[in-house]
Amino acid sequence: MRVSAFFVFARWVLVLQALLAFPHASAAEPLLQTGDYVTERGWGTLVIKRGNGGALNFKLEAMGANAHSCGLRGEIRNGRATLDGMDKDKPCVVTFTDKAEGIAVDSVDAPLCRYYCGMRASFEGLYMKAASGCTPAVLRATRKEFKALYERKDFSAARAQLEPALNHCAKTLDWLETGWMRNDLAITQFRLGDRAACLRTLEPLAKDAAKSDAQIRDEMVAPTDIENWLPVVKAARTNLKLCAEKAPR
């Protein structure tokens, strides 16, 4: 019985060791899920996927003012990615923390990670799981299909392609894409004779459309942002005028 009891005890020790070791083995990413993530207003995107040998790889891109950007990629281990830093002796450490809303991305020492960003850009923030149909790749495909339908003058189908995307993905669309999608949808609604819907779609752009180019330049300051935004505003002015005119009898 003593021998049997010894083996039973030894077995329980091995089980206990395995249980204690398990969290460490799985702690690399206990909760992080693979997939596409995007920030509110779409200034940052994060893709997490499994690589060779089950490694958890990430690719992060973020856009700041004046078209300054960040670009990082690497492998996540224990909720962290260790990259080369501004100081060759000190790495840039990026943390990934699972949250109810998505993944919070931060840096242990932000100045060491400036190597990966332009002066007016930052990557720290909450990256939410992209809603169905709202990843950058799917949105590009949606807009491409919309353009083809619009050019064929199939305005009903074009509207059915773009309107749900604008409504469903509004939270995570960036400001420029939102502006262009509103203009595209509004002119489509106009072609279909739905002027009221056209005006509703353009309402968020109406305030800037009422300003002069000079006023917008003074308010926005950043040159690249101004040059990117003015075409959106000019299109909105034209579309607002079209949709506000009385339909011919």
State which H helix or E strand residue 178 sits in: helix 175-191
Do 195 and 219 lie in one domain? The reply is yes
pLDDT at 72 > cutoff 70: yes
Do 153 and 169 lie in one domain? The reply is yes
pLDDT the model gives residue 53: 82
Pick the last residue of a domain from 129, 149, 174. 129
Do 69 and 143 lie in one domain? The reply is no
Q: How far is CA 42 from the centre of its chain?
A: 4
Do 188 and 217 lie in one domain? The reply is yes
Tokens 């299909």 label which residue? 145
CA distances (Å), 73 to each of 3, 83, 92, 135, 145, in order? 55, 8, 12, 18, 31
d(CA 140, CA 42): 14
- On whether residue 29 sits in a domain, the answer given is no
Going by C-beta distance under 8 Å and a sequence separation of 6 or more, which residues neighbour residue 201?
A: 166, 182, 185, 186, 189
Structure tokens at 190: 């106009």
- Region 77-95 average pLDDT: 89
Pick the last residue of a domain from 129, 152, 182. 129
Q: Choose the weakest-confidence range: 14-28, 120-134, 187-201, 231-245.
A: 14-28
CA distances (Å), 21 to each of 7, 14, 24, in order? 21, 10, 5
Do 142 and 114 lie in one domain? The reply is no
Q: Choose the weakest-confidence range: 33-42, 184-193, 240-249.
A: 240-249
Do 147 and 218 lie in one domain? The reply is yes
- Region 146-163 average pLDDT: 98
pLDDT at 43 > cutoff 70: yes
Do 111 and 141 lie in one domain? The reply is no
d(CA 208, CA 30): 46
Q: Binning pLDDT at 50, 70 and 90, where does residue 21 land?
A: very low
pLDDT the model gives residue 216: 96
Pick the last residue of a domain from 70, 102, 129. 129
- On whether residue 107 sits in a domain, the answer given is yes
Do 177 and 149 lie in one domain? The reply is yes
Rg (CA), the chain: 25
pLDDT the model gives residue 24: 41
Element counts in the chain: helices (H) and strands (E): 7, 8
Do 152 and 173 lie in one domain? The reply is yes
d(CA 186, CA 82): 46
pTM over 0.85: no
- On whether residue 28 sits in a domain, the answer given is no
d(CA 173, CA 179): 10
Going by C-beta distance under 8 Å and a sequence separation of 6 or more, which residues neighbour residue 67?
A: 118, 224, 225, 228
pLDDT at 75 > cutoff 80: yes
Q: Binning pLDDT at 50, 70 and 90, where does residue 10 land?
A: very low
Mean pLDDT computed over every residue of the chain: 88
Do 221 and 200 lie in one domain? The reply is yes
State the Cα torsion 137-142-146-148 to the nearest 10°: 60
CA distances (Å), 210 to each of 97, 98, 177, 183, in order? 43, 43, 20, 15
Going by C-beta distance under 8 Å and a sequence separation of 6 or more, which residues neighbour residue 133?
A: 139, 142, 164, 165, 168, 169
Report the share of the chain in percent with pLDDT over 70: 86
- On whether residue 101 sits in a domain, the answer given is yes
pLDDT the model gives residue 31: 78
- Region 137-152 average pLDDT: 97
pLDDT the model gives residue 205: 98
Q: Binning pLDDT at 50, 70 and 90, where does residue 248 land?
A: low
- On whether residue 146 sits in a domain, the answer given is yes
pLDDT at 152 > cutoff 50: yes
Do 103 and 187 lie in one domain? The reply is no
- On whether residue 54 sits in a domain, the answer given is yes
Tokens 């332009």 label which residue? 118
- On whether residue 25 sits in a domain, the answer given is no
pLDDT the model gives residue 228: 97
Number of domains in the chain: 2
pLDDT at 97 > cutoff 60: yes
pLDDT the model gives residue 88: 75
- Region 90-119 average pLDDT: 93
Range of the domain at 181: 136-244
Q: Could you report the per-residue pLDDT of 188-208, keeping only the tens digit for each?
A: 999 999 999 999 999 999 999
Question: In this structure, what CATH number is given to the domain that contains residue 167?
Answer: 1.25.40
